[in-house]
Amino acid sequence: MLNLADKVAVVTGAARGTGRTHCERLADVGADVIAVDTAAAADDLASTAAALAARGRRCFTSTADVRDLRAVMEAIDAGVAALGGLDVVVANAGVHAPGAPAWELTSEVWQEALDVNVTGVWHTVKAAAPHLSAGGAIVIIGSTNGLRGTANTAHYTTSKHAIVGLARTLANELGPLGIRVNTVHPGAVATPTAPAAGCVQQGP
């Protein structure tokens, strides 16, 4: 069984959905958590902290948009100072706007996907990696869209393919230092943001 007793993890997009679930799972196996999300999700972020406190684990919360490198660095630095170190990074924050054929996507929708899903991951790793040492781990949350092409999701699919390349490069760079880098690729998950992205429940 996974044992992260007294380890410290940072999770981005931690306020709700899969991000909160990641936090809860980490707490269940003994980790304290630096929970990061946008200011707009501050109330939900507080609920994440309460869920971890109920499990007997510490949770340092900080608001930052992963598109803002300075804010992400300040959030992670403050969390590390408060909790005493960093062992695990979960780059979870992401967006999935409603899709359309590639030639019909707006520049704004395309750019947001790249800014959050790709640059945001790079910002998270850039801010966190200096705090990691041998035995540390980085987990980048991808998508099955990062393993295949899917119609009407050019913005999202491109961003998720990009982080696979980023993760492979980081693994080559950080592996010699004893730090593991992996991606995981879930399919559709029932989260509060799923309907806005055009995901609908099938069946009863």
Q: Above 70 in pLDDT, residue 141?
A: yes
Q: For position 124, what pLDDT does the model report?
A: 99
Amino acid at 185: H
Is 15 labeled as catalytic in the residue annotation? no
Q: Which of 35, 156, 166, 170 is catalytic?
A: 156
Confidence band of 189 (pLDDT split at 50, 70, 90): low
Confidence band of 18 (pLDDT split at 50, 70, 90): very high
All structural domains of the chain: 8-184 (3.40.50.720)
Confidence band of 191 (pLDDT split at 50, 70, 90): low
How far apart (Å, rounded) are the C-alpha atoms in residues 106 and 196? 16
Overall average pLDDT of the 51-71 stretch: 98
Amino acid at 47: S
Question: CA angle, 53 as apex, 78 and 20 as ends, to 5°?
Answer: 75
Overall average pLDDT of the 90-115 stretch: 96
59 strand-pairing partners:
33
Question: CA angle, 92 as apex, 1 and 58 as ends, to 5°?
Answer: 60
Phi, then psi, of 8 in degrees rounded to 5: -120, 130
Q: For position 98, what pLDDT does the model report?
A: 87
With beta carbons less than 8 A apart as the criterion, state whether 89 and 7 touch. no
